[in-house]
Structure 1
Amino acid sequence: MSNQDLKRQLINPPQTQVLYDTYHFSQANRVGNIVWVSGQVGIDANFAPGADITEQSHLAFQALRNILEEAGGSLADVVELITFHTDLQGEVHAFGQVKDEYFPDRYPAWSAVGVTQLSLPQLRVEVRAVAVIGSGKA
């Protein structure tokens, strides 16, 4: 692997530029074929939270998919998920059903953590991931 391959690349899809500019963080960083994705929450294009855990989970996974595609990968390349839940015991089943729609097989490693709050009081879940680009190809 050359030094060029080890340069850090910031991944910020155009629709997330306001987050980069305002809150000073990248949606993801890629070094070589590894991508570390910042926590994605259940907000829509207008930055409004989804109505419930199911909608927020879909929005978070859609954002994760968009960021990985911007990085040159896909959800199939995810090797690790870490999720943060404000009501882990009460909502993990509904969350798991949505997660399984995006990861129907070849499941990534997953850690689910209960927390008291996320960045907005209406948020129920945050999803972060590590992906190895190209690893999802059979």
Structure 2
Amino acid sequence: MNTREVIIPQGMEILYEKYHYCPGIKVGNTLYISGQVGRDENLQVVEETEAQFIQAFENVKKVLWAAGASFDDVVEMITYHVTVQPSNASEQQPLIIPHLPLFIKVKDRYFTNKFPTWTGVGVTALSTPGLIVEIKCTAILGLEN
């Protein structure tokens, strides 16, 4: 029988205590990571775009490491990106994800060996004003190649 293990890295205790959700839950050898955003340990949104992307990935890394995993163990990644209407566009033109090339550049610093599946979703807003990306992952620990 599998057991449910709550994963709360140091510095993320407030997420569980105040907001009542787990940064990660491990069931057997599968780790489910809640959407991580570009907020620091004081829950302050990181302002600069690249720095916010880095902070979001660093938060994912904290959960992975607390569970004894790494980015090589991630098999699925879902990202949510705040979209914008192009300034010269009509209302009928689609929204765009303005920083996707920069996000991919940052992502490639963390996923350097084994690449996960990836689904990117455009959204109009995230939970806190100023956030522009949220990263949710599933990892399988102990997989070979």
TM-score (norm 1): 0.91
Residues 64-75 of structure 1: matches in 2 within 5 Å?
64-75=60-71
* Displacement after TM superposition at 1:86 (Å): 0.3
Q: Which residue type is aligned with residue 60 of structure 2? A: L
Unaligned runs of 5+ in 1: none
- Distance between the aligned counterparts of 1:124 and 1:81, measured in 2? 16
Residues 80-99 of structure 1: matches in 2 within 5 Å?
80-87=76-83, 89-99=97-107
- Distance between the aligned counterparts of 2:114 and 2:72, measured in 1? 8
Residues 83 and 127, structure 1, Cα contact 8 Å, conserved in 2: yes
* Displacement after TM superposition at 1:52 (Å): 2.6
Residue 59 of structure 2 corresponds to residue 63 of structure 1: yes
Equivalent pairs: percent with the same residue?
38
SS in 1 for 2:25: strand
Q: Which residue type is aligned with residue 111 of structure 1? A: T
Q: 1:112 maps to which residue?
A: 120
Q: 2:86 maps to which residue?
A: none
Residue 18 of structure 2 corresponds to residue 10 of structure 1: no
2:108 aligned to 89, 97, 100, which one?
Answer: 100
Residues 53 and 125, structure 1, Cα contact 8 Å, conserved in 2: no
* Displacement after TM superposition at 1:106 (Å): 2.1
2:129 aligned to 102, 105, 121, which one?
Answer: 121
- Distance between the aligned counterparts of 1:57 and 1:134, measured in 2? 27
Residue 56 of structure 2 corresponds to residue 48 of structure 1: no
Unaligned runs of 5+ in 2: 84-95
* Displacement after TM superposition at 1:46 (Å): 2.0
Higher Cα radius of gyration: 2
Aligned residue pairs total 133
Q: Which residue type is aligned with residue 120 of structure 2? A: A
Residues 42 and 56, structure 1, Cα contact 8 Å, conserved in 2: yes
TM-score (norm 2): 0.87
Q: 1:36 maps to which residue?
A: 32
- Distance between the aligned counterparts of 1:89 and 1:21, measured in 2? 33
Structure 1 vs Structure 2 CA RMSD: 1.2
Residues 39 and 129, structure 1, Cα contact 8 Å, conserved in 2: yes
Runs of 4+ in structure 1 over 4 Å off: none
